[in-house]
């Protein structure tokens, strides 16, 4: 990854974190990232920093990712948490069939959450997606999951 590539993402993170900082009360009250802010973040690729470039991600070096998370955490820890959780899950792209990974991360607004389900949780493939049943206590960014 080039320094220019990293600098682009670091600069965008600073700009977006400034927007987040202005809306911390709204984020806390709504218990989620506001939709317009989420879209700005998704457009900048912050939820796909660890997704391989071959799948449309940034394939970010870990130390640059950590700096981006730190930038957001200074503005709002819960927003930084959501960015981190979705990026950590993105590393699963390397463990799944390429076709599945492409399907998951093809949508630029794709957020894949990874809250731990309880025993007995099921995902049944249906026409056009999956039918989930089970129990999750919490899953960061789930309101935007696709």
DSSP string, 23-81: THHHHHHHTS--HHHHHHHHHTTTT-TTS-GGGTS----HHHHHHHHHHHHHH-HHHHH
Instruction: Give the per-residue pLDDT at 118.
Output: 74
Q: Where are the domains of the chain?
A: 3-105
Residue 55 has pLDDT above 60, yes or no: yes
Joined together, the tokens standing for residue 16 give: 């977006």
Instruction: Give the per-residue pLDDT at 5.
Output: 82
Residue 75 has pLDDT above 80, yes or no: yes
Q: Tell me the angle at which helices 62-75 and 77-90 cross, rounded to the nearest 10 degrees.
A: 160
The Cα–Cα gap between 141 and 138 comes to 9
Instruction: Give the per-residue pLDDT at 68.
Output: 97
Torsion of CA 39, 41, 53, 7, to 10 degrees: 150
Residue 145 has pLDDT above 80, yes or no: no
In the structure, what pLDDT confidence band is assigned to residue 46 with cuts at 50, 70 and 90?
Answer: very high
For 90-129, the pLDDT digits (tens) are 788 878 888 888 888 887 777 666 666 678 888 899 998 8
Strand partners, 125: 130
Q: Rounded mean pLDDT of the chain?
A: 86
Instruction: State percent of the chain over pLDDT 90.
Output: 45
Assign domain 3-105 to its CATH superfamily: Acyl-CoA dehydrogenase/oxidase, N-terminal domain (1.10.540.10)
């Amino acid at each position: 990854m080039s320094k220019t590539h990293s600098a682009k993402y670091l600069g965008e993170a600073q700009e977006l974190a400034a927007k987040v900082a202005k809306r911390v009360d709204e984020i806390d009250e709504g218990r989620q990232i506001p939709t317009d802010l989420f879209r700005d973040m998704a457009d900048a690729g912050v939820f796909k920093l660890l997704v391989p470039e071959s799948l449309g991600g940034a394939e970010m070096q870990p130390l640059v990712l950590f700096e981006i998370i730190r930038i957001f955490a200074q503005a709002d820890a819960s927003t930084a948490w959501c960015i981190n959780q979705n990026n950590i899950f993105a590393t699963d792209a390397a463990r799944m069939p390429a076709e599945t990974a492409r399907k998951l991360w093809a949508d630029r607004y794709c957020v894949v959450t990874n809250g731990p389900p309880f025993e007995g949780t099921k995902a049944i493939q249906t026409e056009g997606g999956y039918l989930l049943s089970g129990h999750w206590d919490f899953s960061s960014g789930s309101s935007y999951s696709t």
